[in-house]
Amino acid sequence: MLGGVVTVGIASLTDRGGGSVDRAVVPTDCPAPDKSDAPRYRFDNRPIYCLTSGTVYTAVFDTSEGEIRFALDTARMPETTNNFVALARYGYYDDTLLFRIDPGIGIIQGGAPTTNDWSDPGPGYQIPDEGGNFTPVANGGVTGPFSYKTGQLVMARSAGLNSSGAQFFFTTTESVSLLDGQGSYLLFGATDNAGQSVLDAMMDLYVADPDSPYGGGPSHEIVLRSVTIVEG
């Protein structure tokens, strides 16, 4: 039973954005912090590194259910954080849906501006795994170094190494620890008690629906109005 639950989670926490990781990235300009370069949804390469050493970065999610603030982990997860900051400053996540709630593994997923579901084509690139050791396994997946608890910001991924792109999920209940056996979803942010209260309210909107590809969803649309990056 436990293995079955985890398998469902692994198969469904998918970001199907295309492209392979290119570590010799052709430099482009960093996005404007005030989003004056937005919106932009497709890219030829993953972003160059645009974060400032020693600066604290916070992602502020303005949703229809309330505000959630995540402190971003630039120390352990610099490339993952940089990618998310760049996409947020390009307006990639603005006016999208948190399209999936899954109480079985305690997550809320978003980050799909084109289709607002897990089939979204993504930004056109994928980012490298980081934060520890990643090992391919026989079923085509990957095991990694992370364990999960409530109140975290995590990247979704496809099977195989270096397969995250833009989709993300919030960890909302203790059931998310079922993903510890894989541990490869890139964990790069944490919220506070106020943010967790908003996540709890979102999870309470879940309604089972056998016709949904996710087995159910929110009783009404959860809109992500914007993601703003605050420095300092």
pLDDT tens digits, one per residue of 174-210 = 999 999 999 999 999 999 999 999 999 999 999 999 9
Distance CA 108, CA 71 (A): 18
Interval 108-132: pLDDT, tens: 999 999 999 989 999 999 999 999 9
Interval 131-175: pLDDT, tens: 999 999 998 899 999 999 999 999 999 999 999 999 999 999 999
Q: Between the CA of residue 188 and those of 100, 130, 135, 144, 149, what are the distances in Å?
A: 20, 10, 19, 14, 13
Other CB atoms closer than 10 Å to residue 53's CB: what's the count? 6
Q: For domain 2-21+38-231, which CATH number applies: 3.40.190.10, 3.40.50.720, 1.20.1090.10, 2.40.100.10?
A: 2.40.100.10
Reduce the DSSP state of residue 171 to 3 states and report it.
strand
**pLDDT for the residue numbered 28:** 55
**pLDDT for the residue numbered 25:** 42
**Percent of the chain scoring above 90 in pLDDT:** 84
pLDDT at 2 over 50: no
Burial profile 141-163: b = 16 or more Cβ within 10 angstroms, e = fewer: bbebebebebbbbbbbbbeebbb
**pLDDT for the residue numbered 17:** 52
Contact 96, 110 (CB under 8 A): yes
For residues 17-22, average pLDDT: 43
For the record, the structure tokens of 171 come out as 């960890």
Residue 21: band (very low, low, confident or very high) from pLDDT cuts 50, 70, 90:
very low
**pLDDT for the residue numbered 139:** 86
Which has the higher per-residue pLDDT, 19 or 143?
143
Distance CA 103, CA 184 (A): 20
Which has the higher per-residue pLDDT, 155 or 5?
155
- Quote the mean pLDDT of the chain: 90
Distance CA 10, CA 12 (A): 6
pLDDT at 19 over 70: no
pLDDT at 20 over 60: no
**pLDDT for the residue numbered 18:** 44
**pLDDT for the residue numbered 58:** 98
